[in-house]
Structure 1
Amino acid sequence: MLDRFPNGSEPMPSKSSLSPTLARARVAYLMLAAVCLASCGGGGSATPSTSSPAIAPAILALTPCAPSGVTGATDYQVGDGQAYTELEQVPWENLRAGDTVRIHHRATAYKGKFMLSAQGTAIAPVRVCGIRNASNQRPTIDGSGATTRPALETLYGSTTVTAGRTVREIHQSRSIVVFKQTTAQSSSAYPQHIQLDGLHFTRAHPSYSYTDGGGVVRSYDQFGACIWVERGHNITIADNEISDCQMAIFSKSTDDGLFARTHDLRVAGNYFHGNGVVGSFLEHTTYLQSVNLVVELNHYGPMRSGAGGNQHKDRSVGSVIRYNRIEGGAHNLDLVEAEDFYVYATGAGATDYRRAFVYGNLLNIGSGSRAVVHYGGDHFTSVPGDNWGEGIFRKGTLYFFHNTVQASANARLFRISTTEETVEAWNNVFVANAGTLSLRERENDPIGAAWTPDGVLNLGRNWISSGWSLGNAALQGSVSGTANLLTGASSPISASTWSPLAGGNVIVDNAAATPTAASGHPVTRHFDTSLVPVARPVNGTAADLGAVER
């Protein structure tokens, strides 16, 4: 499988922003990927839904799926015996502040695609939510064979000419749900204060087809997502199940102005599984480029077998990633440069761009993975002054604390791009259930001559399985604080519940004080024995190391 493009970069997600060289490389890569898709599987029936325990609404900060009560707002009900029996009947283009679209569970999946362009307010948000059945099952929206509401056809934008007719298919081909302005709105308009929750989205993938708003059957693009946020402010995507898609959620930001940046995106309490594209490293479970991003309380189940992407790829400003359970991927977490809105990220947004907070997560890594966490950037060999590459990397600090990592094979914990990036790690538990752990992976992409690879890792008090190593002897960055590491030959946690074991356990009541730089991020959640996020107590004289309190 291809690992990098000729210049060591990963292609930019926006087709319009590609340089000619990268565009040609992208086309060549996609042709190879198509061959792999044809011969390696990656299609077929929907990935079976597996259980993920429900999170209490109070933890998720969700209210029941009910009318808003806002004066003059409309409550649209969809389902058997309701005013609207199919999603394409809902006047999505007319949603206003305070409106709700309530989708009732039914035995057969809904086959509708829609666009969210409404402009809610803080006190009157727009909400699209699912009403579960007596067995607590979410309503399912199936992208395979889905139909776009004809009234939306002229509102999507991005026209192309196919077989002599003008169509607006690009956003339809990417997703089941897209957040963007319509062609009837100002070019600087954006959706705002919208919540999408309680639904199961599935089967938006190149293996499947849909009917566009003009009645033409088309296949889904490879680079797409079940939920695509082209732009939007104050968007919440919560308590959904998303499976068998190219990606579960994608959000975009560019330097065209405030309207073109996704701001205040919250992704919370979702269950992702079976996403990605076989043979490709370009599609990830979540790929988010936002300002003020919170990713919390989600369960990232295994990706599609043979998919080469990451579980969470992040090009955001102000990233907070907390209380998630993440299994597998090339990296569990890939936090890299804000390539499409670097002017804002390195200018007005620099304070928040230069710091990210990852805490309270359960992270599981297996064979074939690169590292648990990658921090810095992934486009290489630039020179000072370029508007891409090392010069626009994160160049800040990742604060990584109260996480628990379990590895089922030889694994690397951190990949840090250059010595202008730093990871501060404390109060974590790093367990090797098989193989050994290395603190760092070498940045083996070709770094530009003006920069030094491999970054800075500062360790506070952490527990790590004995037999650990610093990593490749050729690493050029630095590691400090190894004397602070607590070690042991036996794991101090239960492999199944991740809870600290009883009886003289060195990780219990042994957490160090939180540094001032992270004092605004208290750890208030952990996982119970069913791996459901709940309020975190302090049962003793101090907190325990890791993501779970005994």
Structure 2
Amino acid sequence: MSLPRIALLLLLPSLAAQAAEYRVGPGQTYATIGAVPWESLNPGDTVLIHARPTPYAEKWVLGRRGTATAPITVRGVKDAAGNLPVIVGENATTRSQLNYWGEERGILKIGGSNTPADTTPAYLVVENLHLRRARGAFTGRNGASTYAKNAAAIFIEKGEHITLRNCVLEDSGNGLFIANATSDVTVEGNSIHGNGNPDSILEHNAYTEALGITYQYNRFGPLCAGCLGNNLKDRSAGTVIRYNWIEGGNRQLDLVETSSDTLRGDASYARTFVHGNVLLEPAGAGNRQVVHFGGDNGTTATYRGTLYFFHNTVVSTRTDRTTLLRLSTNAQTAHVQGNVVLVTAAGNTLSLTDEAGTLRHGLNWYKPGYVSSFGTVTGSVVDTGGNVTGGDPGFVNLAGQDFRLTAGSALRGKVTAPLSGTEAHPVTWQYVKHTTSERRAQAAPAHIGAYGDPLAPGAEVPDAETPDAAPSGSGEEGGCDATGGGFAGPLALLLLAALAARRGRRAH
């Protein structure tokens, strides 16, 4: 037997003895979320919060460290009707043994506490929870308190190797807020909508700044009524936004500079990847720009550099003008390829860019009459060839928001080569309404837009980008709950057996 296998076999009994399972809800060991000893969770521990007819009005902090092979998992368990457990921030209370700062910033906070002792939380999975209404009053360590206007359903102050999966985040100042002491975050399969504050441009459905963040398979819906923020605002390094549905907001994407020297100094800050998304610009929405890229603080030397925008489906139902992309200065470059950009108004109501920066575009589909800019181009717009124009892209049902392709779609077989610089990001998946995905069959030439044909059962697929596992969509206890590295083959089977054994032990 090999030494790695012997080492793993020696390790497994220790892991099995240490991990615990905490069950919360009607008929479970713990009646409330606050009864769980959050301050003493260990690697491999799992907290299962069961749905119940009335919401949990509780809030807490995660400040412990799991490991790559034994993450700490907080998982909601659906009821018989398929409902997630609902956790409301308004009038919420906190477990008395927890002592953490920034209570006014979120319902679930990750990082930044006295009890548990302050550390960088790591290898955490939060899934299948419905968190809403970080607004109004709550009771914390200092008694009665009030949420800040920018409070979030989930607020991550710091942490590493964190997965947020299959959650609903709504009716808060920010749905998700991540500060820049955070790294390696995956946000997948969530529904994030109805956040923001009326008449304010400062709060968003998601507002994030991390070293390495991937958004995939999420549904971003409109913000709350009268709320002026963006849908997804990001200041990260190593940003990948793929296979999402993003509808509404002042802008669908606002991708601007970081305030962190650490993030700015990382090589991944130089390039941002946006692909396979559905971006919807509704009539009467705020800014006519769908995407803003670069920066917004005026210190142009800190702005982002290059955007790769490919195989997206962009639909605007505005009756006035639509601008696909605004680059902040002439130092920004956008490579735009393989996208379908449909305006339901006349073709001349679409401009590709605002004024500044370099936009290189080819192998896209537009209505005829589109323009480079509605103003004076101070940068440059370069047509790299192969763009297609027409009156109808050939969606299955435009009015019904079914943007899959008909058999005769004009988008089929038009992308003759991948976009240079995106080799590590093959478009191998596609979004499925809502918050899930399916494999995309690989065609040569490829189809324009976020949709190709689904992969036939049993067909082989090329190596996919990493990480690229689709969310389970499961509210059951057996859903996928690991993030980061692991073991392969027989070692994985041994590890899974140990995990199953230790989960059979309930905490009391």
How high is the TM-score relative to the length of structure 2?
A: 0.82
Inter-partner Cα distance in structure 2 for 1:310 and 1:199: 23
1:119 touches 1:192 (CA, 8 Å); kept in 2? yes
Q: Which amino acid aligns with 1:459?
A: H
Are residues 1:463 and 2:365 paired?
yes
Q: In the alignment, which residue of structure 2 is the partner of 1:111?
A: 57
Choose from 299, 304, 327 the match for 1:416: 327
Deviations 1:353-399 (Å, cap 9, x if unpaired)? 0101100000001232241111100012xxxxxxxx111111x2111
Q: Which amino acid aligns with 1:406?
A: V
1:317 touches 1:345 (CA, 8 Å); kept in 2? yes
Deviations 1:178-204 (Å, cap 9, x if unpaired)? 1114225666x2100000000100111
- How much has 1:326 moved relative to structure 2? 0.2
1:509 touches 1:541 (CA, 8 Å); kept in 2? yes
1:228-307 paired onto structure 2 within 5 Å: 228-253=155-180, 261-307=181-227
Are residues 1:374 and 2:320 paired?
no
- How much has 1:518 moved relative to structure 2? 0.5
1:246 touches 1:277 (CA, 8 Å); kept in 2? yes
Inter-partner Cα distance in structure 1 for 2:278 and 2:21: 39
Shift of the 131–492 alpha-carbon distance from structure 1 to 2, 3 Å rule, reads same
Inter-partner Cα distance in structure 2 for 1:184 and 1:247: 25
Q: In the alignment, which residue of structure 2 is the partner of 1:398?
A: 307
Inter-partner Cα distance in structure 2 for 1:138 and 1:184: 28
Are residues 1:226 and 2:157 paired?
no
Inter-partner Cα distance in structure 1 for 2:200 and 2:214: 27
- How much has 1:529 moved relative to structure 2? 7.0
The runs of at least 4 consecutive aligned structure 1 residues that moved more than 4 Å come to: 184-187, 528-532
Inter-partner Cα distance in structure 2 for 1:275 and 1:223: 10
Single out whichever of 476-485 and 91-100 deviates more from structure 2: 476-485
Choose from 149, 152, 176 the match for 2:107: 176
- How much has 1:212 moved relative to structure 2? 1.4
Q: In the alignment, which residue of structure 1 is the partner of 2:281?
A: 365
1:459 touches 1:484 (CA, 8 Å); kept in 2? no
SS of alignment partner, residue 124 of structure 1: coil
Deviations 1:455-501 (Å, cap 9, x if unpaired)? 11001210012221111332311100165321112243231210123
Q: In the alignment, which residue of structure 2 is the partner of 1:355?
A: 271
- How much has 1:519 moved relative to structure 2? 0.3
1:87 touches 1:111 (CA, 8 Å); kept in 2? no
Deviations 1:191-220 (Å, cap 9, x if unpaired)? 000000001001112xx2211134x22221
Are residues 1:156 and 2:95 paired?
no
Inter-partner Cα distance in structure 1 for 2:113 and 2:385: 58
SS of alignment partner, residue 150 of structure 1: coil
Choose from 124, 144, 147 the match for 1:194: 124
Inter-partner Cα distance in structure 1 for 2:429 and 2:391: 28
SS of alignment partner, residue 103 of structure 2: helix
Are residues 1:515 and 2:433 paired?
no
Deviations 1:249-306 (Å, cap 9, x if unpaired)? 11111xxxxxxx2110111100011111110000011111001110111000111011
SS of alignment partner, residue 248 of structure 1: strand
SS of alignment partner, residue 107 of structure 1: coil
Q: Which amino acid aligns with 1:511?
A: V
Are residues 1:537 and 2:453 paired?
no
Q: In the alignment, which residue of structure 1 is the partner of 2:379?
A: 477
Shift of the 69–337 alpha-carbon distance from structure 1 to 2, 3 Å rule, reads same
Are residues 1:429 and 2:340 paired?
yes
2:244 touches 2:431 (CA, 8 Å); kept in 1? no
2:111 touches 2:159 (CA, 8 Å); kept in 1? yes
Inter-partner Cα distance in structure 2 for 1:110 and 1:100: 18
SS of alignment partner, residue 88 of structure 1: helix
Q: In the alignment, which residue of structure 1 is the partner of 2:428?
A: 524
SS of alignment partner, residue 262 of structure 2: helix
SS of alignment partner, residue 84 of structure 2: coil
Single out whichever of 323-332 and 477-486 deviates more from structure 2: 477-486
1:110-129 paired onto structure 2 within 5 Å: 110-129=56-75
Q: Which amino acid aligns with 1:400?
A: F
Q: In the alignment, which residue of structure 1 is the partner of 2:457?
A: none
SS of alignment partner, residue 152 of structure 2: coil
2:55 touches 2:86 (CA, 8 Å); kept in 1? yes
Q: In the alignment, which residue of structure 1 is the partner of 2:93?
A: 147
Inter-partner Cα distance in structure 1 for 2:384 and 2:214: 31
The alignment covers a number of residue pairs equal to 431
Inter-partner Cα distance in structure 2 for 1:172 and 1:185: 14
Inter-partner Cα distance in structure 2 for 1:78 and 1:138: 13
1:315-334 paired onto structure 2 within 5 Å: 315-334=235-254
Shift of the 510–90 alpha-carbon distance from structure 1 to 2, 3 Å rule, reads same
- How much has 1:401 moved relative to structure 2? 0.5
Q: In the alignment, which residue of structure 1 is the partner of 2:465?
A: none
Q: Which amino acid aligns with 2:106?
A: S
Q: Which amino acid aligns with 1:128?
A: V
2:152 touches 2:176 (CA, 8 Å); kept in 1? yes
1:148 touches 1:172 (CA, 8 Å); kept in 2? no
Q: Which amino acid aligns with 1:365?
A: E
1:525 touches 1:534 (CA, 8 Å); kept in 2? yes
Q: In the alignment, which residue of structure 2 is the partner of 1:345?
A: 263
Shift of the 457–142 alpha-carbon distance from structure 1 to 2, 3 Å rule, reads same
Shift of the 150–529 alpha-carbon distance from structure 1 to 2, 3 Å rule, reads closer
1:328 touches 1:369 (CA, 8 Å); kept in 2? no
- How much has 1:512 moved relative to structure 2? 2.7
Inter-partner Cα distance in structure 1 for 2:112 and 2:104: 17
Shift of the 354–529 alpha-carbon distance from structure 1 to 2, 3 Å rule, reads closer
Inter-partner Cα distance in structure 2 for 1:315 and 1:362: 21
Are residues 1:500 and 2:405 paired?
yes
Larger relative contact order (Cα-Cα within 8 Å, sequence gap ≥ 6): 2
SS of alignment partner, residue 268 of structure 2: helix
SS of alignment partner, residue 173 of structure 1: helix
Inter-partner Cα distance in structure 2 for 1:211 and 1:280: 26
Shift of the 144–186 alpha-carbon distance from structure 1 to 2, 3 Å rule, reads closer
- How much has 1:528 moved relative to structure 2? 4.4
The percent identity for this pair of structures is: 37
